[in-house]
Amino acid sequence: MNRPSSKKVTKLPILPDGTNPSEGDLRRLLNMAQGQPGNTFQLPWVHQATGALYTLSCSDTGVPEWTLTTGIGVQSVTVWKHLTGDLELINNLVWMESSGGSAPPSKPAGFSDLSDLVKSELEKDAQTRGVPLEPRPGASPSASAVSAEKPKAASASSLQGSLKEMQVSGVLQSISMTKMTGKLVVDSNSYDITVFFEEGTPVHAVSMESIGDAAIMDLLTWDEGQFNFIPMERTADRSINRRLEAILMEGAALVDQHQFLTKRGLKLSTFMRRKNPNISEQEFEMALRDAAPLDMIFQKQMYQLVDSRKTFAEILRIRPLLKSQWVPLWYNLISCNLVEMSDMPTLAAKQSALESIGVDQALVSAAKKSIVRAESGMLPFPLFLSFLEQEFVRFEYTRSPLTLVVFDVMVNKEKGPEPIAGGAVKGLTDIVTSIKREIDWLGHFRTFEFGVLLPHTDAHSASFFASRLVEEVRASTIGGAENSGDLSIAVGVASLPQDGQTLGVLLPAAVEAKKNSREKGVPIVLFQSLYK
């Protein structure tokens, strides 16, 4: 396709030997293309086993266009081309081409031939998309996996400490004033943000949710965590264009707004309700006339989600937002007396729809209670699988996303970590029940594991649920833990259609992700992240 001469093709630096593109690489490529519509950005890398040169191109004139080629110049061959904004799909396609469709490196106990099953289902899914999955000669998946997991040797840090002793703004300004070059990593629980500096100037920042200025803005609201600066660590990525002083000035307002919400008692479990349910649109706009400048349509859309039934966490699951987006929004709605917070839903919200038409709710509750195990309050494993099958049928009819979360919880004992049991499992049920929706299902999974079905939930929203699950479990003392933090949790997440189209992929994929989480000590693993 001929392009106007004004359109440019920018080739990024080739990835290091043996390195396949990560999801972060793809996201950066997409951000560059969206930042310069019509221009093409190319990311090359060399296949570790075959030595073949691959190039992934991305351009965006409304819908992102992705093209994967192999070879050089006129001898290059197009492998596939897709018009999509689905980063998970592109990530999976790149992995399948780079790995030659190889099976996962290990098999989780309890499912025979799990890796073969995953490979078989992925091959079927790929064939429908026209993606070749023939094994490459001489490919060595295990060697590739080992090299990908091998940690880099950390350089000695010249700046490290706790955010309780030094504020984020102070850390950033110290690096800037001393013109340091390297990588700053700030870690809080299972979440971290990385900022790269060149002679004191921030050039790139990345977190699980955002990159660039937004990642630094998010970081500025942190008041807990550990920071560590690693000198001379560099990156070719560039996502920050503004001066640090400008970001800090803008971030100061965000920090003040975040502190306001924290002092008001905002928690993920907080119920949001409208102060004046009958407010007119004109009155709504008048109430916000002196508020922090935000798009009025956006504020109205979020206000419509407030119904006295949903918690703050549930609203964020419906409409995932970056912290730099939701902080000023809820600051406006709460400080302008449009929304109030409560630890409990309103009486009307608690009343079920059946009660409102005269049905005895006690009969319904008794029926629900009869299908769960009395000692745990969870669905037994066979019934959980039955519900999984039912939700999969719903997925096939509606094409609405479906996510399966598999996890285990261990308590640290003198003899070593042990799975929680007895009353601790009932305590876990209470935790999950407090954060899941009515349409979500919690059940036993195999012997010492647990599962949560999340209908109408994609991988991104499910990762928010998983993060909150980890946070709540770690803060609890179930299982005889004398202090919070004595519990460890491993979570695996798999979703349809992001990770496949069948139960043959979803079920073993979630198990594989959870197994990887436990083995590597990473609290949450998304299946799609295993094969970057």
Reported as a single tens digit per residue, the pLDDT across 292-335 is: 889 999 999 999 999 878 888 888 878 878 888 899 999 999 99
| DSSP-assigned letters across all residues of 148-200 | HHPPPPPPPPSEEEETTTS-HHHHHHHHHHTT--EEEEEEETTEEEEEEEETT
Q: Read off the pLDDT band of 133 (50, 70, 90).
A: very low
Share of the chain above pLDDT 70, in %: 81
Strand runs (DSSP E) across 268-381, as ranges?
271-274, 339-342
Both ends of the chain: CA-CA distance in Å? 30
Q: What is the pTM of this model?
A: 0.52
Phi/psi at 198 (5° precision): -125, 110
Cβ neighbors of 290 (< 8 A, separation 6 or more) are none
Instruction: Note the pLDDT tens digit of each residue in 62-81.
Output: 778 889 888 776 667 888 88
- Cα separation of 177 and 179, whole Å? 5
User: Which has the closest alpha carbon to 486: 476, 498, 496, 494?
Assistant: 476
CB 127 within 8 A of CB 133: yes
pLDDT at 156 over 50: no
pLDDT, average across residues 451-480: 85
CB 77 within 8 A of CB 69: yes
Identical fold between 264-347 and 371-531 = no
Cβ neighbors of 359 (< 8 A, separation 6 or more) are none
User: Which has the closest alpha carbon to 184: 242, 223, 225?
Assistant: 225
Phi/psi at 3 (5° precision): -115, 150
pLDDT at 353 over 50: yes
Q: Read off the pLDDT band of 357 (50, 70, 90).
A: low
pLDDT at 364 over 80: no
Phi/psi at 247 (5° precision): -65, -40
More confident residue, 352 or 250: 250
Average pLDDT of the residues of the chain: 80
Rg (CA), the chain: 25
Q: Read off the pLDDT band of 350 (50, 70, 90).
A: low
- For 53, the enclosing helix (H) or strand (E) is strand 53-60
Looking at domain 371-531, its CATH architecture is 2-Layer Sandwich (3.30)
State how far the alpha carbon of 342 is from the alpha carbons of 271, 337, 346, 434, 459, in Å: 5, 14, 9, 15, 29
pLDDT of residue 109: 38
pLDDT at 509 over 60: yes
More confident residue, 403 or 5: 403
CB 126 within 8 A of CB 134: no
Q: Does domain 264-347 have CATH number 1.10.1060?
A: no
For tokens 């971030």, name the residue.
Answer: 251
User: Which has the closest alpha carbon to 345: 274, 262, 282, 423?
Assistant: 274
Q: Read off the pLDDT band of 99 (50, 70, 90).
A: low
pLDDT at 10 over 70: yes
pLDDT at 393 over 90: yes
pLDDT of residue 358: 67
pLDDT of residue 381: 94
Instruction: Note the pLDDT tens digit of each residue in 250-272.
Output: 888 888 899 899 888 888 878 88
- Cα separation of 413 and 425, whole Å? 16
CB 498 within 8 A of CB 490: no
- Cα separation of 432 and 309, whole Å? 17
pLDDT of residue 103: 35
pLDDT of residue 135: 42
pLDDT of residue 147: 32
Domain boundaries defined on the chain: 9-149, 159-252, 264-347, 371-531
